[in-house]
A = this chain, B = another copy of it.
Amino acid sequence: MSSDSLPTVSAPEERPGGSNAGKKIPKAVIKRLSLYSRILQNLEILDREKVSSRELAQHLGLNSAQVRKDLAYFGQFGVPGLGYYVSDLRKRIKRILGTDRGVRLALVGVGNLGTALLSYGGFARQGFHIVAAFDSDKRKVGSTKGGVPIHDIADLERVAREQRIDIAVLTVPADHAQAVATKLIDCGITALLNFVPVHLKVPDSVRVHYVDLSIEIESLSYYLR
């Protein structure tokens, strides 16, 4: 959510296709792309061959025009009168998101939340692999959790290089978040998923997405009756 304060960015892919193509891609579109991907995965498991923008929209509580427009940013993937081919569309979306190859994650901060994420299966299912964890507590270093080795944070630079980390997941205590983030960036990591409720000051070349558990609850609280 707070990632919403980042500027819209143009597609890193060259893009042919629809009249939307070449335009800036709204952040909201990218988020929905990964929703479409998940629905298509389910439909593929059910052996569905085709799907309409209307059905896709219904599965997500969206408007069908929005689905068509979102996809049109990247090309003409559908067949008028028929809809979209499930398997084909899924492949294309995964390609666009860059999740067709495995994405390598490091998790930094093996506390309560960090530990849960190490055992959480949801990431692997979408092709994201936590290949290293880091902590400063010497008692944790050297062991593994959820099959992931825990390294000393002091070894960050070496391990990050050896493991070719794409994205770091931040689950450290709030008072260390900024320092750790800076260190990660120094090691060449350019994408952070930040679970710590702290706004990180990072260079423009680095992308941070925020997951803020408390915000969602507090705002729910507002709508109680």
Closest chain B residue, CB of each to CB of A5:
B61
Is A199 a contact partner of B31 (Cβ separation < 8 A)? no
A215 to B39, CA, bound (A): 12
**The residue from B30, B37, B126, B213 contacting A122, defined by CB atoms under 8 A apart:** B213
On whether the beta carbons of B222 and A30 are closer than 8 Å, the reply is yes
B27, B96, B115, B167: the one within 8 Å of A217 (CB): B167
- Whether A220 and B197, one on each chain, are in contact in the complex, defined by CB atoms closer than 8 angstroms, is no
**Which listed residue (B4, B98, B223) contacts A224, Cβ 8 A?**
B98
The answer to whether A207 has its CB under 8 Å from any CB of chain B is yes
Please indicate the chain B residues that have their CB under 8 angstroms from the CB of A2 in the complex.
35, 60-61
Residues of chain B within 8 A (CB-CB) of A27 are 219
Residue count of chain A within 8 Å CB distance of chain B: 64
Q: Mark A159-170, 1 if CB is under 8 A from B, else 0.
A: 000000011000
B residues near A116, Cβ cutoff 8 Å: 112-113, 115-117
> A217 to chain B: which residues have CB within 8 Å?
103, 105, 123, 126, 128, 167, 193, 209
Given known pairs A190-B225, A199-B61, the reply for A126 and B166 (CB within 8 Å) is no
- Give the docked Cα–Cα distance between A216 and B208 (Å): 10
Q: Are A219 and B61 in contact (CB under 8 A)?
A: no
Within 8 A of B (CB), among A11-39: 12, 27-28, 30-31, 33-35, 37-38
Q: Which 7 A-B pairs have the closest CB atoms?
A: A116-B116, A34-B218, A30-B219, A112-B119, A207-B223, A209-B216, A98-B221
A-B contact pairs, 24 of them (CB 8 A): A2-B35, A5-B61, A12-B225, A27-B219, A31-B215, A37-B218, A38-B197, A59-B199, A60-B199, A98-B221, A99-B221, A103-B217, A103-B224, A105-B217, A112-B119, A112-B120, A113-B120, A116-B117, A122-B213, A126-B218, A128-B218, A191-B223, A207-B223, A211-B211
